[in-house]
Amino acid sequence: MTFFREKLGDAGVLMDGEEEEMRRYNSDWMMKWVGRSRCVLKPASTAEVAEVMKYAHERNLAVVPQGGNTGLVGGSVPVHDEIVLSLLRMNQIEALDKWSGIVTCQSGVVLEHLDNYLADRGFMVPLDLGAKGTCTIGGNAATNAGGLRYLRYGSLRGNILGMEAVLADGTILDSLSCLRKDNTGYGLPQLFIGAEGTLGIITRLSLLVPSRPKAKNVALFGCRDFWSVKRAFLLARQNLGEILSAVEFADRAALDFVFTREGLRDPLTDQHPFYILIETSGMNEDHDGEKLHNFLEAAMHVADGESDAVVTDGVVAQDATQAAAIWRLREGISDSMTFSGYVYKYDVSLPLPRMYELVEDTRIRLKAHGVADTEKIVVGYGHLGDANLHLNVCSISGRNDEMLALLEPWLFEWVAGAKGSISAEHGLGQCKNDFLHLSKDTSAVNMMKQLKAAMDPKGILNPYKVLPGGSA
Amino acid sequence: MTFFREKLGDAGVLMDGEEEEMRRYNSDWMMKWVGRSRCVLKPASTAEVAEVMKYAHERNLAVVPQGGNTGLVGGSVPVHDEIVLSLLRMNQIEALDKWSGIVTCQSGVVLEHLDNYLADRGFMVPLDLGAKGTCTIGGNAATNAGGLRYLRYGSLRGNILGMEAVLADGTILDSLSCLRKDNTGYGLPQLFIGAEGTLGIITRLSLLVPSRPKAKNVALFGCRDFWSVKRAFLLARQNLGEILSAVEFADRAALDFVFTREGLRDPLTDQHPFYILIETSGMNEDHDGEKLHNFLEAAMHVADGESDAVVTDGVVAQDATQAAAIWRLREGISDSMTFSGYVYKYDVSLPLPRMYELVEDTRIRLKAHGVADTEKIVVGYGHLGDANLHLNVCSISGRNDEMLALLEPWLFEWVAGAKGSISAEHGLGQCKNDFLHLSKDTSAVNMMKQLKAAMDPKGILNPYKVLPGGSA
């Protein structure tokens, strides 16, 4: 270990004896996955990452790359005693091309930090998610993070232009194009996006950053059933079109956790089975307000050939404080539930019309097996615009293996049967890797294995993750 | 060859003796690259493509996949006598998910055909380019085509959700997810996007398709210099923001070819050194008109601290016919030049501020070597919003090896020196593969070679393309 101290300096190495600090590198924030690494390395440059990997490669030492460690599938913590390689010290924002809207930075920059930097310069990160204060842009890239703005700005696959990465043997791959368009050769950066650190360690990247909108509107609507939720989404797309920046939904049971836990006031007079949050962002406040008004007209009045209005009640935020309060309802669901018991979290994609069926079927299944209060503890919410459902089941009395056995693999199989994805945005990590076959054809799994074998033949990069049974 | 007739039927095989028809599969539309294949195969299904590749793999037969054959770098025609595998019969549009805006189709669908199908259903292809009536969506994917709408809708890398491809040995890779979000495993479809058919043959794909805008505006502006062009782009981004769907530019010399060749009327009263075409697309006609008006106010008046107006003159199309006429000026440049002489075409990305410098330097260089009329024959135009310059040099007297020797590799080296890309959107094909090192680091070229060797060890897929010196 003298080697690491020599190469990285004291600030770059955390070893035995510093147990307290080491704990947060060894386990995820839900304490669901706990490793027992005795060595955390914190390189400050790409060259240092390369030194570490070269050394590890020669000696067959396994390495887990880690960003903000906010994942939900155990992808960024060691399974056993792998070396943890934290990118948090690589947090430099290096350049901003204001003409083309391209930022270049190291991978350890915290998402919110990057967004604040860009806000001061009239731009924004085309990605937003609850963990923004902790997660890193490199971790976002490694997990192809989706989040709240996907509907408007698309995937990281489309927004990442270039990348520098360190390969398993310590080779530095320089594919850091900072151009909007560059069609010279294969899309190498794409190999590392969504690979969860199993094919290489992302050290720097360049990202398309859109102009920051001048106007923002946030509104919350109540709906009588999921059919109305779907109709409201279509109306929003038709009326709000290019200014639509988020369409989120939650059922009443999900919001009840937030109301109870955080003592927040219900902004609507009556209770509704479903809620939709709509956000618009644009360059002209008056225009956006008028479009939102037109949407409301269409949604609150009885539509042609329909017997009921699509939304029953609603509120439009009058200022930034009210907008934040509405967002807090949606963003607070996950934390409120975690504080209320042990939560089984699922993140799936489904064809939109069948999205909520899974929540109903889960309640029926648990109820049939004697679980109480299923209407309250099984909740559905998520990114309606992306057909991405977060289904959470809260066991108030804590960890519950019987409940888990009822949920898995049944739930994953239900999703596979509906041609959905068992992981819409959270990745596979060590949580879902053995269920990969439910979302991927054998031919695709085989090609993944082939890529892994070619790029990391010793299997030292983030082992036991993504691929079934871990790396060979 | 009995094998092919047996498997594909008579409609699927074109052989010796059908010279006339075979010619168009052997050469590109500019007749710049001419192969001499004696066998063109036209499979009608993925299974048939797989049969062909299995057979070819066993016998070490080289295969060139071909879509609409509209490329500019010789990527889709044989170099020698490789088998041409045309995807044109695989032209079925299979499904449209109207809730999420996802279309699934075979790769041989013609781009315009796909867009017309979607138009009838309220959607659009997030890609548009001059060759839309001939090029195929599979060819677009294989070359990561950019085109006119990139500014608004982003790259195909971001819009392609899933893919089916046939590998070198005939294995069918099924990675055809039809979900907006699916983070289960590596981004396999990305391997084939932009790989120009050297890693596999794209047979089916699923694509995000945005709602078709209800309103469209097109305007043409004259500018006194390139500095004003850049300023106009910034003003457009600020005022038009989310409704901006294209920002194109051309110098006067480029438009002169169109005026002369097509006898088109100049829509502006005076001549200007530079022109910008701006297109907006949105959901509300009144709002878009007002935004465009605000942009004009800002651009035609003298700005704070600036001594001149950013645009000198301009015209806004009053109807679809006028809009088409303005687009014709921009889209007609390439053809008008081709009809006027032999054209050396370059498609490069550069940092926006230096974009036009290359045109000026090219004129200076040619002039210094005795070439006449460089102000007329060297033209610059392209996708300003993407910093993507099309530099064309027209040799009125036909093919001119001395001129070519002055242009290459000098021009590619100039681009490399400015940290640009030697191929912004056209790819490498057999035209630029030997210059790959000018846009890609050695580490990236090595990884490309490694991927090629792993996925096509016999080097039978589109040989002599993309990689320097062709496949091993």
> What is the SS3 assignment for B291-330?
HHHHHHHHHHCECCCCCCECCCEEEECCCHHHHHHHHHHH
Same fold, B215-333 and B341-426: yes
Burial (CB < 10 A; 0-12, 13-18, 19+), residue A155, is buried
Question: Encoding tokens for residue B435?
Answer: 């210059």
With bands split at pLDDT 50, 70 and 90, how would you rate the model's confidence at A471?
very low
> Are A187 and B157 inside 8 Å of each other by CB?
yes
Return the residue in A155, A163, A180, A386 with the most chain B beta carbons within 10 A, the one to mutate for interface testing: A180
With bands split at pLDDT 50, 70 and 90, how would you rate the model's confidence at B300?
confident
Under a CB-based contact definition with an 8 Å cutoff, are residues A115 and A122 in contact?
no
Question: Encoding tokens for residue A55?
Answer: 């050394």
- Cα separation values, B163 from A249, A388, A445, B138, B182, Å: 29, 20, 14, 10, 13
Residue A269 CA to residue A257 CA, distance in Å, equals: 18
With bands split at pLDDT 50, 70 and 90, how would you rate the model's confidence at A472?
very low
Please, what is the end-to-end C-alpha distance for chain B in angstroms? 26
Under a CB-based contact definition with an 8 Å cutoff, are residues A74 and A31 in contact?
no
- Amino acid identity of residue B290, one-letter, is E
Q: What is the pLDDT of residues A409-449, one digit of tens each?
A: 999 999 999 999 999 999 999 999 999 999 999 999 999 99
B-chain residues within 8 Å CB-CB of A421?
177, 179, 181-184
B-chain residues within 8 Å CB-CB of A247?
none
pTM to 2 decimals? 0.95
| Stretch B52-77: mean pLDDT | 97
With bands split at pLDDT 50, 70 and 90, how would you rate the model's confidence at B370?
very high
Confidence (pLDDT) at B471: 40
Provide the edge-to-edge strand list for the sheet that holds A93-97: A93-97, A102-106, A201-208, A160-166, A172-175
Confidence (pLDDT) at B165: 98
DSSP category for residue B343: E
Return the residue in B181, B245, B438, B443 with the most chain A beta carbons within 10 A, the one to mutate for interface testing: B181
Percent of chain A with pLDDT over 90: 91
Question: Encoding tokens for residue B461?
Answer: 């897929």
> Are B194 and A187 inside 8 Å of each other by CB?
yes
Question: Encoding tokens for residue A401?
Answer: 């293996």
Percent of chain A with pLDDT over 70: 98
Residue B36 CA to residue B27 CA, distance in Å, equals: 9
- Which CATH fold topology does B215-333 show? Alpha-Beta Plaits (3.30.70)
Overall residue count recorded for chain A in this entry: 472
Q: What is the DSSP string of A412-460?
A: HHHHHHTT-BS-SSS--TTTTGGGGGGTS-HHHHHHHHHHHHHH-TT--
Return the residue in B149, B173, B178, B180 with the most chain A beta carbons within 10 A, the one to mutate for interface testing: B180
| CA–CA min distance A429, chain B (Å) | 9
Burial (CB < 10 A; 0-12, 13-18, 19+), residue B335, is middle
- Which CATH fold topology does B341-426 show? Alpha-Beta Plaits (3.30.70)
Burial (CB < 10 A; 0-12, 13-18, 19+), residue A238, is middle
Distance of CA A367 to the CA centre of its chain: 30
What three-state secondary structure class fits B237? helix
- Would you kindly state where each structural domain of chain A is located, as residue ranges? 93-208, 215-333, 341-426
Residue B67 CA to residue B139 CA, distance in Å, equals: 5
Which residue, A18, A11, A60, is CA-closest to A37?
A18
Based on its alpha-carbon atoms, the radius of gyration of chain B, rounded to whole angstroms, reads 23
What are φ and ψ of residue B43, in 5° steps? Answer: -65, 155
A-chain residues within 8 Å CB-CB of B447?
173, 175, 186, 188
> Are B450 and A454 inside 8 Å of each other by CB?
yes
With bands split at pLDDT 50, 70 and 90, how would you rate the model's confidence at B288?
very high
Nearest CB among A177, A213, A387 relative to B100 is that of A387
Q: What is the pLDDT of residues B335-360, one digit of tens each?
A: 999 999 999 999 999 999 999 999 99
Confidence (pLDDT) at B15: 82
Confidence (pLDDT) at A190: 98
Q: What is the pLDDT of residues A4-19, one digit of tens each?
A: 999 999 999 998 667 7
Closest-CA residue of chain B to A171:
B443
CATH of domain B93-208: 3.30.465.10
| Stretch A285-293: mean pLDDT | 95
Residue A2 CA to residue A304 CA, distance in Å, equals: 75
> Are A183 and B423 inside 8 Å of each other by CB?
yes
With bands split at pLDDT 50, 70 and 90, how would you rate the model's confidence at B303?
low
> Are A240 and B283 inside 8 Å of each other by CB?
yes
A-chain residues within 8 Å CB-CB of B174?
441, 443-444
Q: Residue B124: CB partners within 8 Å, gap ≥ 6?
A: B115, B118, B209, B210, B211, B212, B213
> Are B283 and A290 inside 8 Å of each other by CB?
no
| Stretch A399-405: mean pLDDT | 96
Q: What is the pLDDT of residues B436-447, one digit of tens each?
A: 999 999 999 999
Confidence (pLDDT) at B306: 59
Element (DSSP H or E) covering residue A402:
helix A401-407
- Amino acid identity of residue B396, one-letter, is I
Percent of chain B with pLDDT over 90: 91
Which residue has 């504080």 as its token pair?
A339
Which residue has 């604040």 as its token pair?
A116
Question: Encoding tokens for residue B166?
Answer: 């046939």
Distance of CA B457 to the CA centre of its chain: 29
Q: What is the pLDDT of residues A196-218, one digit of tens each?
A: 999 999 999 999 999 999 999 99
Q: What is the pLDDT of residues B210-265, one digit of tens each?
A: 999 999 999 999 999 999 999 999 999 989 999 999 999 999 999 999 999 988 88
**CB contacts < 8 Å between A and B, how many?**
284
Whether the pLDDT of residue A307 is over 80: the answer is no
With bands split at pLDDT 50, 70 and 90, how would you rate the model's confidence at A36?
very high
Burial (CB < 10 A; 0-12, 13-18, 19+), residue A60, is exposed
Q: What is the pLDDT of residues A290-300, one digit of tens each?
A: 999 999 989 98
List beta partners, residue B84. B40, B64
Mean pLDDT score of chain A? 94
Distance of CA A319 to the CA centre of its chain: 28
Q: What is the DSSP string of A235-264?
A: HHHHHHGGGEEEEEEEEHHHHHHHHHHH-P
> Are B283 and A443 inside 8 Å of each other by CB?
no
Confidence (pLDDT) at B445: 96
> Are B180 and A239 inside 8 Å of each other by CB?
no
Whether the pLDDT of residue B449 is over 50: the answer is yes
Whether the pLDDT of residue A470 is over 70: the answer is no
> Are B388 and A444 inside 8 Å of each other by CB?
no
